[in-house]
Amino acid sequence: MQYLDNVFFLILLIAGFGLFGKSLLKIYRNIRLGREINRSDRKSERWETMARVAMGQSRMTARPVAGVLHLFVYVGFVIINIELIEIIVDGIFGTHRFLSTIFGHTFYNFFTATLEVLALLVIVGVVLFFIRRNFYGVKRLTMKELFGWPKNDANWILIIEFALMVAFFTMNSSDFILQQRGVLAAHGSFPISEMTLVPFLEIFSFDSIFLEVIERGAWWFHFVGILFFMNYLYYSKHLHIILAFPSTWYANLDLYGKFNNLESVTKEIKLMMDPNADPYAAPVEGAEEAPSKFGAEDVFDLNQVQLLNAYSCTECGRCTSVCPANITGKKLSPRAILMKTRDRLEEVGRNIDKNGKFEDDGKKLLNDYITKEELWACTTCNACTQACPILLDPLSIIFEMRRFLVMEQSAAPQELNLMMTNVENNAAPWQYNQADRLNWAKD
Ligand code: SF4
Ligand code: SF4
């Protein structure tokens, strides 16, 4: 029977991790549909940024209450899952609390007691987050782009985390009583369980066999729950617990909002302005080729970091809450820009899964997901990128899509077209010649 348990455990473990690996490969494939971008420079700065922002949560503290609660859930949940190592070894070899043999009695007691305190903090965090999200009316958490799946997803994650922690305490409490009765060897210290669930379970005076069923049930629930949670991530905004790390590593270390002038366009302008330039001169070695398309019309035209950003967005809405366009009632929401980019990318991914390669589906990110109205509502103020806790850059997607509208479709708003014509004709944004600029001061 024990042998069957172990085999069943192993099959579940391999299936769970196998499915998870398959999902990660799909995400990787989808991100690679984007244009390549070289962000391998300044490596030490990148490691430092990742450690500070993703691991250290440095930007979360801008909103202290949410920041502290998030820290409870993040640190607690990550550390508690170290216990997964113990669960895996116990599950495969049929041992009981394997880490106690490695850590020794005293340190194992300290370890299990610490996990209990962290688990309690996770419960406090998820309960307060649930109340805040559903009953407190925080504007950025109740906006219309979160209606439907995004809202349910956020709630499901909190419910799953809560259930996993309750299973953890149930397992510890029944284990503790069995240890007290001498049915199981005494390993670990469980201060929170002793104060909460242990007295509750003792009210019922369950016999040891029934308590073993409870302990094993909670243990299996905890294990299967972790596998489920891991595989659920693929469909959830909670992918950020993994992708926040590469997103911060590959973040733009230069000024956000700085326009990346295309070398090929700069060259054209210089040729126009230099009467002695030879338009037929051989290209300089290593010079950037003119791209086949300017800007972005679909996800294929965005770069890989922008697509990684779309998968990493936590949908927290900090960006949208500071966006002046959104605050003044415009249709634009920087959070929605990333959410729509991810939706389109996933649609393209499903198309590839079905057909083996991408078959034109007659849709594009531009117009079918993100409208011109949203794009032109952006003031390029940069507030969204400053507010993002994991250094995502929705503004760069807006830039690229605008670039497509201007350079490929000449579809800028009338005011901009007028200004660009003036620059072209007068080398100034106004409707008169540069030489007349100071006429206003003559008298
Ligand atoms: S840069 Fe654009 S999208 Fe970002 S906050 Fe400013 S107006 Fe909003
Ligand atoms: S872009 Fe950043 S700030 Fe905006 S919703 Fe996503 S994670 Fe939050």
**pLDDT tens, residue by residue, 367-402:** 999 999 999 999 999 999 999 999 999 999 999 999
Residue 382: closest CA among 374, 390, 392:
392
**Looking at ligand 1, which residue's alpha carbon is closest to its atom 8?**
323
Alpha-carbon gap, residue 113 to 97, rounded angstroms: 14
Alpha-carbon gap, residue 76 to 83, rounded angstroms: 11
* Tens-place pLDDT, residues 262-290: 777 777 777 777 777 776 666 666 666 66
Residue 176 makes CB contacts below 8 A (sequence gap 6+) with 188, 190, 193, 194, 198
**Looking at ligand 1, which residue's alpha carbon is closest to its atom 5?**
323
Q: Which ligand minimizes its atom distance to the CA of 317?
A: 2
- Asked whether the beta carbons of 361 and 299 are under 8 A apart, the reply is no
Highest mean pLDDT: which of 212-221, 250-259, 265-274, 418-427?
212-221
- What tokens does 56 get? 């250290």
Average pLDDT over residues 214-241: 93
Mutation test residue for ligand 2: of 248, 319, 340, the one with most atoms within 8 Å of CB? 319
Residue 111's H or E segment, with its range, is helix 105-135
In the beta sheet, which residues pair with residue 366?
370
Number of Cβ within 10 Å of residue 52's Cβ equals 13
Number of Cβ within 10 Å of residue 49's Cβ equals 18
Q: pTM for the whole thing? A: 0.88
Alpha-carbon gap, residue 373 to 377, rounded angstroms: 6
Q: Which ligand minimizes its atom distance to the CA of 248?
A: 2
Q: Which ligand minimizes its atom distance to the CA of 336?
A: 2
| Dihedral sign (CA 28, 238, 226, 122) | positive
Alpha-carbon gap, residue 144 to 395, rounded angstroms: 20
Mutation test residue for ligand 2: of 151, 306, 323, 335, the one with most atoms within 8 Å of CB? 335
pLDDT at 353 over 80: yes
Cα 55 → chain centroid: 13
- What tokens does 417 get? 């077209």
- What tokens does 227 get? 């596998």
pLDDT on residue 245: 95
Alpha-carbon gap, residue 38 to 230, rounded angstroms: 30
Please report which residue ranges of 32-63 form alpha helices under DSSP H: 43-49
Alpha-carbon gap, residue 141 to 204, rounded angstroms: 42
Residue 318: closest CA among 61, 31, 49:
61
- Asked whether the beta carbons of 322 and 383 are under 8 A apart, the reply is yes
**421 pocket-lining for ligand 1 (C-beta < 6 Å):** no
Residue 88 makes CB contacts below 8 A (sequence gap 6+) with 13
Alpha-carbon gap, residue 208 to 186, rounded angstroms: 15
Alpha-carbon gap, residue 258 to 311, rounded angstroms: 23
pLDDT on residue 285: 62
Mutation test residue for ligand 1: of 255, 256, 323, the one with most atoms within 8 Å of CB? 323
